[in-house]
Structure formats: C-alpha cells, structure tokens
Amino acid sequence: MNHFLRRNFNRISLVRSVVIAAAAGSTLLCSSNNNITDIRASVTARIPLPLQDSLLSTWPVLQHDLLSQQFSLASLSGLFPLNSYRASPVPSSDVTKEADGAVHNGSKPGGCFGRDTIANAAAKVGPAVVNIAVPQDFHGITAGRGIGSGTIINKDGTILTCAHVVVDFQGTRSSSKGKVEVTLQDGRTFQGKVVNADRHSDIAIVKINSDTPLPEAKLGSSSKLRPGDWVIAMGCPLSLQNTVTAGIVSCVDRKSSDLGFTGMQREYLQTDCAINMGNSGGPLVNIDGEVVGVNIMKVLAADGLSFSVPIDSVCKIIEHFKKSGRVIRPWLGLKMLDLNEMIIAQLKKKDASFPDVNKGILVPMVTPGSPGDRAGFHPGDVVIEFDGKPVESMKEVIEIMGDKVGVPIKVLVKRGRDKLVTLTVIPEESSIDV
C-alpha cells in the first residue's frame, strides 16, 4: 500500500483530492499538499486487507463508470434504482495507523469531537432508518414510485416520516390506498400503513408489523441545539439507501415567512447538510446519536441550505395524533410580533404614545371577524399576560393555548398611553389548508 502511494505521488506534484470508496464503507482520503513529506504525515488509511487488491484495480473507474450508468438509467426511466448495502465490520488486524506509526482507536478524552464521532452517531441511528416507496399513478396511468425516508421510533413498528412522502400533494393519486413499502437497512421489506398525516407541519406516522425485533432510534431535544453544532442527515437520497452526510446547524429558528411561506408561522432547523430528493422524512441526528429533526426540504437554487422540522415540535404533533388522531390548532386571528429592547425603542421613537413596556408581544394586525376581533383586540396592543401567565413570545402563547378550542382565555394587554385592558378571547379551530 505504501508502495502504491509513493509511486503515484512521484508522478504528480500536486494532489488535489482523491477519494476511494469501496464496499464496507472503507475510505482512503488524501488531502491537497505540495510537500510529499507532509502528505505522508497526514494520510489516514482504513481499508480491510481482503479488499486492497481489488480496490486498487477498480478505483479509477468507480466515479465515472458506476455513477454514470446509475444516473443515466435514472434519467431515462424516471426511476432511481434502490442500492442497498450493509456495512461489514473491519477486521481487528486492520487498525488505523498514522505515518508516525502510532495506533489510535479514534476516541478522544473527555468526550471531545473525535475521528469516529460522526460514524458512531450514525451507527446508533442507522439500523432504524428506512426507505419508503409509494406507488403513484396519474388518472389511472402509472407514474412510478414516490421515494422517501423514515425513522423507526418505537420497536412496535412506528415510523416517523414526512406527510408529502406518503400523502397526495401534487395532484397524483396514490394507488396504494394508504399502503407503502418499507425497506430496512438490513434488507427486510414490510408493507406499511399510513396511520396519521398532518399537512401543515408535513409530519406523518407509518406503522409496520414484524414478528422479529425492530431497531428504534432515540429522540433527543432540538431546544439544546445551537448554531455551529454538528449534525448528521440520514436517509435514501435518489434511492441510494443508507446515505449519511454531515454538516452544522446554521439557524435554530428559521421562520417559515423567511422562506416565503404564508399562513400560520412555522419554524425550522436550518443546516448545511447535503440532502436531496429522497431524503425527505429521514432523521437529522446530533453527535450523541439522537434524532433532533426530520429532514423536509432544501433550496434548489443553492447549496448548503437544508431544513428540518425540530423534533420538539414533532413530539407535540405525535401527542396530538395519539390524543385526537389529528393536530388541533386554535386560531385567534391575530398577527403577533415578539418585542425586544431594540424594537421597542424604535417604536417609541416613531410614536411617543407607544406603551411603556420592556417585553411582550405586539399585535400589529387583527383579522376582521376573527375571535381576536370579537374579543376587542386593536392593532397596536401589546400582550403582557395570557391566561394569567406573563408572556413575551408567540411560542409561549401557543404553548399555553395547546389544543384549547372554544375555551375562554383571559388576556391582559397594554395600549397607547399605558392603558391596561383585560380581554376575553375564545379560540376557534384553524381551518388552514397548506
């Protein structure tokens, strides 16, 4: 192996980037460097011994021949082949060695980020990540299969995925009548049934039954994420099952309005993980191997702009499914804006009569005929208490309302010239149609 590296480095003076991929997920990565001595000091090889001979003879054609065949076929047929693999264990004799001869097990003291951190996190969740295929037809004409991803979140066969993967969104009609085909990482295939789906949040639950044990993924907390945290996107992009990509959290509360969506406000996790068609419904995982989000979409015209539904929001949706079979969303008809010191200072500068507050929620608009309008809300009101509890964000209001529909709620607002008014609003169930 060392002879191979020395021979090739002597032929070229500049190595840009070489990636050799083989079965069993083994990889050799050589970084760009002009100094041969430095290159030898930075190269890390981890290749099972039985694969070395075949790998060296085939690696130059892997990228061009194999991928071009796969995707040229896909472009002609409209279907992407399902390429499943299982990661084989690396023999214990094939340890990772640095050029200095030291042997490392990839771990870092004190829980620091190590060379195996991402791989270990992916290994915890990987067996529970599934491929979901849904037969599609358009007015009786077969149009192939819809492909997506999902995560087994309970050993009883409960699978978390995206609603747009399993529910008709685009005018095509599913010929499966709520039935989907689920393929596990180990190759087992099951017929699944769509149990619940919420279009607004784009979250759905699929159920499969198995006589043998099923793997399950652990759910984490998205509220603990910070911009810059490492995360992993897993799923089946373009039907390439068991694909893992990594990146960082770019934003923990990207508003749906920032993305041009209208209607009820939603928040997403923004990451720079590479996701593509087929990743929808797959898990976003933290480095502890916990699911912290559900991958849902990306910006087509840009790289590194991917979005996921936070798992904390997903858990609330699942609770609605268990309690009511659907998500109940109370509606007030109020547009709200969280206030901070800078916004308050700006509003006071524009209008000296603006209420003297240091926190709260501004109501800039009231929908005519809505519950808020009937309760007596005025544009410019600042909500400071909701159902007897101090509030300073829309999240708190939504949390307090829960699924209370038809239940009177007392709201304390402060108006111009510091006038305090107590209003009683009765939420209605939202009839939003995404």
Please say if 280 is a catalytic residue: yes
Please say if 164 is a catalytic residue: yes
Q: How far is CA 207 from the centre of its chain?
A: 20
For residue 65, which amino acid is it?
A: D
Q: For tokens 């997506």, what's the residue?
A: 148
Active-site residue, selected from the candidate residues 176, 250, 280, 313: 280
Q: How many CB atoms lie within 10 A of CB 412?
A: 19
Please say if 92 is a catalytic residue: no
Question: 3-class SS at 89?
Answer: coil
Region for 369 from its dihedrals, namely left if φ exceeds 0, alpha if ψ lies in -120 to 50, beta otherwise = left
Q: How far is CA 27 from the centre of its chain?
A: 26
Active-site residue, selected from the candidate residues 164, 239, 250, 313: 164
Please give the Cα distance from 120 to 275 (Å, whole number).
20
DSSP state string for 232-264: EEEE-GGG--SEEEEEEEEEEEEEGGGGT--SS
For residue 24, give Cα distances in angstroms to 83, 153, 190, 253, 357.
14, 26, 25, 37, 61
- What pairs with residue 248 in β-bridges? 230
Q: How many CB atoms lie within 10 A of CB 157?
A: 18
Question: 3-class SS at 173?
Answer: strand
Please give the Cα distance from 195 to 180 (Å, whole number).
11
- Which residues have a catalytic role annotated? 164, 202, 280
